[in-house]
A and B are shown apart, each in its own frame.
Chain A
């Protein structure tokens, strides 16, 4: 039996890559690169997501770039397809990302259906996933919390299933734990809650349910103190994961048993007086 401290080191893997931290963080919505870098460091995350966008023409070519602050030699950079609404656009974006990151194949696929909700477009997501897997990408896929869709994505070869907890940027937490349980029960690849995590307890709940990891961006970047929230998320994921591994006590709606022994109790003072 390892000591509890040793048990905290609890590696997991996506495809052939091993990681220690079970918190993945996004890099959007921060005030500046300095805050991004500090929040990512405080989170302890090893995998960080980035978006792919046109470079600003006429910008000082020596102006700092995100990857100057988050070095691909220190972090596993996970390019995403945020903003893509078709399979074609998503595939194109990730081919460019692979070129940009010198052959890197681990990617986050998300194909969005509509701007109002950012709900994933599952038919386009599936189409893109199939193409990308055939082209040798290791696809981590953002999806609805539909257990059947999750299984289909796993069947086409996605290396991680990333169902939403609630809508992107909503901070509403896990709205359908029953669906998430069905996905967790069936999946043979890591299930990572992506989108909707609002605060540390949401991340802890996802981990207690048995998720392999949690991905969050807005909850940290838009907290009043992003660095402190990054630290809170780090601890929440460790706490939730440890609780999952520890195995919680059964819930009981009645006949609660006290934590202290029932025997050896001194007789009540009131009882002695009346005797």
Chain B
């Protein structure tokens, strides 16, 4: 495991060992799911997950489609 970092994920403070968005996606079981991720206010395209580093203090939003009118 790598260094533990602290990030804010969907409003919750969490500590984790992921070094990239791709590692976070794998650790959370989101791979292949229809999600979209925003890191510090900017969308991270799916194709860039593996190359986008996670740093302590990052704010992430992960969204899905839900029922709505």
Contacts and interface: CB of A to CB of B under 8 A. Distances in A.
Interface of A: 26-30, 36, 49-55, 57, 61-62, 65-67, 77, 79-80, 82, 92, 95-97, 99-101, 168, 195, 215, 217-218
B17 interface: no
A41 to B, nearest CB: 15
A217 B67 CA distance: 10
A55 B36 CA distance: 10
A215 B10 CA distance: 31
Interface in B4-60: 9-12, 14, 28-30, 33-38, 43, 45-46
Contacts of B46: 99
Contacts of B61: 54, 96
B66 A52 contact: yes
Q: Chain A interface secondary structure, helix, strand, loop or mixed?
A: mixed
Given A79-B65, A96-B63, 16 more contacts: A26-B68, A28-B68, A28-B69, A29-B67, A51-B69, A52-B36, A52-B65, A65-B34, A65-B64, A66-B67, A67-B65, A99-B45, A100-B63, A100-B64, A168-B69, A195-B69
A79 B67 CA distance: 10
Nearest to A80: B68
A67 B68 contact: no
Contacts, number: 98
B12 A55 contact: no
A275 B40 CA distance: 99
Contact of B68 (A51, A55, A57, A62): A51
29 contacts: A26-B69, A27-B67, A27-B69, A28-B67, A28-B68, A29-B67, A30-B67, A50-B65, A50-B67, A51-B68, A52-B64, A53-B63, A55-B30, A55-B64, A61-B33, A65-B64, A66-B64, A67-B34, A80-B69, A92-B38, A96-B36, A96-B43, A97-B65, A99-B36, A99-B43, A99-B46, A100-B63, A101-B34, A101-B65
A217 B63 CA distance: 22
B45 A53 contact: no
Please provide the 3 A-B residue pairs with the shortest distance between their CB atoms, ordered closest to farther.
Answer: A51-B68, A61-B29, A26-B69
A18 B29 CA distance: 37
Contacts of A53: 63-64, 66
